[in-house]
């Protein structure tokens, strides 16, 4: 029902969304762009192809003024005066396509972007657990027979339904990620071989080259846990470890983007986080929303299977709807 209402309201939004956009800034979020079948993310991210991505960029450029990191900070301090509402383009997870596919497009169009990375995966030393899940889900699709131990490991009883099996694999969380290695053995998936052959993540050399070209490389935690599932001590450990890495490599250490979501993250974390006086802001991904922590800014997920124009119209409509019941600000306790 909610989605139907939002779709109806979005249909009435004007094409010139720059004027109707409820905030002064737009923060689009992507992970990857590719025309290829990326097995390590195809089951967990609905990434766009190059044509779809360029269409999104062109639509946003007509409605917003893309800014770089310095301009973004100066806008916040009032020293940068844009001609339109601003947009800061962001990517998460440090996938290789940011260098191979995205950066050339952005250089041609004169658009800056910041990629929030997990140092644990740079140089393809390891792979995020959700990427492992995607590879395993893909193996379930392709294998003629499934070892019964796979169902046993997941406590699926007597079922042999592959859809149920895939869903169970994709539900495995950060805390249960060791199970993925057991499943990989039974499904004959070699994560290390995949990392070596396909190099899904950026290398240190590529990160430094992207920085030289003017792009931002910043913090997304050490190895992509969901912060709402961690203790405050664990939250700060993975965050601080990443900032040390960024400073050692002369990357952008003034920002932090939550992996997954900042839902269920309390004020105590932000109080600790912003004791770091070098930090300018943090980013969530709850769409067009405000936050009771003023320096925590919400980004808009752009990989929902719809065009950028439709996503932004729906975000505007949803913001208006929630404003009627005073629910468009995230409150932290």
Task: Spell out the domain ranges in the chain.
Answer: 2-126+205-330, 129-196
> Tens of pLDDT along 23-65?
999 999 999 999 999 999 999 999 999 999 999 999 999 999 9
Has residue 1 got a pLDDT over 80?
A: no
Per-residue pLDDT reduced to its tens digit, 88-144: 999 999 999 999 999 999 999 999 999 999 999 999 999 999 999 999 999 999 999
Sheet holding 25-26, edge to edge: 25-26, 86-87, 65-66
Note whether 61 and 17 are within 8 A (CB). no
CATH assignment of 2-126+205-330?
A: 3.20.20.370
Q: Is the model's pLDDT at 285 over the cut of 80?
A: yes
Model confidence band, residue 15 (pLDDT cutoffs 50, 70, 90) = confident
Strands (E), the chain: 25-26, 28-30, 65-66, 86-87, 89-92, 113-117, 216-219, 255-257, 281-284, 290-291, 296-298, 300-301, 329-330
pLDDT at 2 over 90: no
Read off the pLDDT band of 264 (50, 70, 90).
very high
Instruction: With a cut of 90, say whether residue 157 has pLDDT above it.
Output: no
Q: How far is CA 166 from CA 41, 108, 133, 145, 204, in A?
A: 14, 40, 9, 14, 33
pTM equals 0.96
Which pLDDT value is given to residue 158? 75
- The confidence score (pLDDT) of residue 64 equals 98
Mean pLDDT of all residues in the chain?
96
Average pLDDT rounded to a whole number, residues 227-241: 98
pLDDT given at position 159: 78
Is the model's pLDDT at 12 over the cut of 90? Answer: no
Of 257, 251, 252, 248, whose CA–CA distance to 221 is shortest? 257
């Amino acid at each position: 029902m909610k989605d139907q209402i939002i779709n109806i309201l979005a249909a009435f939004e004007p094409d010139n969304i720059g004027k109707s956009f409820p905030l002064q800034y737009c923060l689009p979020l992507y992970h990857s762009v590719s025309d290829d079948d990326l097995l390590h993310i195809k089951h967990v991210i609905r990434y766009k192809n190059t044509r779809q991505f360029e269409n999104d960029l062109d639509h946003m450029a007509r409605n917003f003024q893309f800014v770089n990191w310095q301009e973004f900070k100066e806008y916040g301090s009032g020293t940068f005066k844009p001609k339109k509402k601003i947009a800061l383009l962001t990517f998460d997870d440090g996938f290789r396509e940011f260098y191979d596919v995205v950066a050339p497009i952005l250089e041609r169009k004169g658009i800056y972007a910041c990629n929030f990375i997990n140092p644990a995966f740079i140089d393809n030393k390891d792979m995020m657990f959700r990427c492992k899940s995607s590879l395993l889900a893909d193996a379930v699709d392709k294998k003629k027979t499934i070892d019964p131990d796979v169902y046993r490991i997941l406590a699926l009883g007597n079922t042999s339904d592959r859809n149920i099996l895939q869903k169970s694999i994709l539900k495995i969380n950060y805390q249960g990620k060791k199970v993925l290695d057991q499943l990989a053995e039974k499904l004959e998936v070699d994560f290390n071989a995949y990392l070596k052959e396909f190099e899904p993540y950026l290398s240190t050399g590529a990160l430094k080259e992207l920085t030289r070209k003017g792009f931002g490389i910043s913090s997304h935690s050490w190895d992509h846990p969901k912060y709402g599932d961690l203790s405050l001590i664990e939250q700060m450990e993975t965050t601080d470890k990443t900032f040390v890495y960024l400073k050692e490599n002369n990357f952008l250490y003034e920002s932090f983007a939550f992996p997954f979501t900042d839902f269920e993250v309390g004020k105590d974390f932000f109080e600790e986080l912003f004791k770091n006086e070098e930090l300018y802001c943090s980013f969530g991904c709850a769409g067009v929303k405000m936050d009771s922590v003023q320096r925590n800014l919400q980004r808009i997920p752009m990989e929902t299977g719809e065009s950028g124009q439709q996503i932004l119209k729906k975000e505007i409509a949803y913001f208006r709807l929630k404003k009627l019941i005073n629910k468009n600000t995230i409150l932290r306790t």
